[in-house]
């Protein structure tokens, strides 16, 4: 039986600014729908997206060899070693080694840094500033610098490299984007190689040293796997936190909810309501039938995380943002084998930073209507211009 079809350009400006009506249409059409412009079946319902995220018959690695054009080979030489794109047994080995270094205790230990850095960034804010550039971007990249143990004065370089590399995953991609991504990959690799050599000679109390030391059953991360892991922590973790913060500030101000809330509920509702990643694709690792559709080995399926997060079968009035909503099974950070390894850090940053920003700038308002960039499935704003007349003193104690 053929799948119902759906046609919508992901580059259409109106869709980019508000894709949620299209998601409603997709959910109503069936458990799987063939999206013509993406040339793949997609799932938009929570039940289907959750099941496909957890189904081990699907994975991130294409089961067939793929020829990589030589001009982008340096990018994919690193990208293919990322935890995000590996499957067992390599994924199991990598995740086990990484979690030996990137422990819950390590994440929780960043709380004082996040608290003090948030206050410092707010101290520097002026009315009319772009919060995206001066707050939402600065906080996670500096946290990553401190976590890895690299100089904070290189934060601008890391930001630039992250933006250029992440651009490779967007639908709107051309040779200029590819060349910039390769240049960023080479620069980031050279930067990290210096610090890997230093930490091997003289370990410190930082994540690079911990990743180098991580060992299980006599196995350790290779040099390229170390580099790929550090790059993933910056690119995936940083991009997600930036846009979750930006989208959250936008929504809180637009809905009149710019006031104190329970930090845990606030964080989960921000991630649920308008998440930073809308599409996550997987390959069928074998011939398989799910939800009445036969997938041939190597066929892709698109999982619409934001659509699943607004499924009325799971949430009452799901398009309404409610900072007091009881947390539910939102999928902004994935599920199953590929649940975001940096998810706990993203949650921690949001839950600490946003309440402080609200408390210290209680009359913050936006001075221009924010718009989303044209990278549809990386759902983030161009900028976030805000003003305020009151700035309360820095908060103390965590």
CATH number at residue 250: 1.10.630.10
Tokens (6 digits) for 398: 């965590």
Handedness of CA 379, 385, 389, 395 (dihedral sign): positive
Q: What is the pLDDT of residue 1?
A: 60
**What is the rounded distance in angstroms from the CA atom of residue 239 to the CA atom of residue 155?**
14
Q: What is the pLDDT of residue 100?
A: 86
Handedness of CA 380, 382, 387, 393 (dihedral sign): positive
Name the domain count of the chain: 1
* Residue 116 belongs to a domain: yes
* Burial group, residue 149, by CB count within 10 angstroms (0-12, 13-18, 19+): middle
- How many degrees, rounded to 5, is the angle at CA 340 between CA 45 and CA 297? 60
* Residue 392 belongs to a domain: no
Q: What is the pLDDT of residues 85-142, one digit of tens each?
A: 889 989 889 888 888 888 889 999 999 999 999 999 999 999 999 999 999 999 999 9
Q: What is the DSSP letter of 377?
A: T
Q: What is the pLDDT of residue 345?
A: 92
Q: What is the DSSP letter of 169?
A: G
* Residue 146 belongs to a domain: yes
Q: What is the DSSP letter of 318?
A: T
Q: What is the DSSP letter of 132?
A: I
Q: Show the domain range for 230.
A: 5-387
Residues of the chain short of pLDDT 70, as ranges, are 1, 216-217, 237, 397-398
* Residue 94 belongs to a domain: yes
**What is the rounded distance in angstroms from the CA atom of residue 299 to the CA atom of residue 287?**
9
Q: What is the pLDDT of residue 318?
A: 97
- In the three-class reduction of DSSP (H, G, I as helix; E, B as strand; rest coil), residue 85 is classed as helix
* Residue 16 belongs to a domain: yes
**How far does the chain reach from its first CA to its final CA, in angstroms?**
58
Other beta carbons within 10 Å of 308: 29
* Residue 398 belongs to a domain: no
* Residue 394 belongs to a domain: no
Strand partners, 295: 288
**What is the rounded distance in angstroms from the CA atom of residue 58 to the CA atom of residue 361?**
46
**What is the rounded distance in angstroms from the CA atom of residue 112 to the CA atom of residue 63?**
44
Q: What is the pLDDT of residue 36?
A: 97
Asked if residue 244 lies in contact with residue 275, where contact means CB atoms within 8 angstroms, the answer is: yes
* Residue 395 belongs to a domain: no
């Amino acid at each position: 039986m053929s799948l119902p079809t759906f046609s919508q350009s992901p580059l259409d400006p109106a869709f980019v600014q508000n894709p949620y009506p299209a998601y409603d249409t997709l959910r109503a059409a069936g458990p799987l729908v063939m999206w013509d412009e993406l040339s793949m079946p997609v799932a938009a319902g929570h039940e289907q997206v959750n099941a496909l995220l957890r189904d081990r018959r699907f994975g991130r690695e294409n089961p067939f060899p793929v020829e990589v054009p030589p001009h982008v080979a340096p990018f994919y030489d690193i990208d293919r070693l990322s935890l995000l794109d590996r499957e067992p047994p390599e994924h199991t080995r990598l995740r086990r080694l990484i979690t030996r270094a990137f422990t819950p205790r390590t994440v929780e230990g960043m709380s004082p840094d996040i608290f003090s850095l948030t206050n410092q960034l707010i101290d520097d804010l002026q009315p009319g500033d772009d919060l995206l550039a001066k707050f939402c971007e600065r906080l996670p990249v500096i946290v990553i610098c401190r976590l890895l143990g690299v100089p904070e004065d290189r934060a601008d370089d890391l930001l630039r490299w992250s933006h250029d590399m992440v651009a490779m995953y967007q639908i709107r991609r051309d040779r200029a984007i590819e060349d910039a991504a390769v240049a960023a990959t080479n620069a980031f690799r050279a930067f990290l190689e210096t610090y890997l050599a230093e930490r091997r000679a003289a370990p410190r109390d930082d994540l690079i040293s911990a990743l180098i030391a991580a060992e299980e059953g006599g196995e350790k991360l290779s040099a390229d796997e170390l580099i790929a892991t550090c790059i993933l922590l910056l690119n995936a973790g940083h991009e997600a936190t930036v846009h979750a913060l930006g989208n959250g500030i936008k929504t809180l101000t637009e809905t009149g909810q710019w006031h104190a809330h329970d930090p845990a509920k606030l964080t989960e509702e921000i991630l649920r309501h308008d998440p930073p990643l809308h599409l996550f694709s997987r390959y069928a690792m074998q011939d398989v039938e799910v939800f009445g559709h036969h997938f041939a080995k190597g066929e892709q399926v698109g999982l619409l995380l934001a659509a699943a997060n607004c499924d009325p079968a799971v949430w009452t009035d799901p398009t309404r943002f409610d900072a007091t909503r009881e947390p539910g099974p939102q999928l902004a950070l994935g599920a199953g084998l590929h649940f975001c390894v940096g998810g706990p850090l993203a949650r921690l940053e949001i839950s600490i930073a946003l309440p402080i920003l609200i408390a210290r700038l209680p009359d913050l308002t936006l001075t221009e209507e924010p718009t989303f960039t044209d990278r549809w499935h990386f759902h983030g704003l161009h900028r976030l211009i805000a003003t305020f007349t009151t700035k309360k003193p820095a908060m103390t104690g965590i």
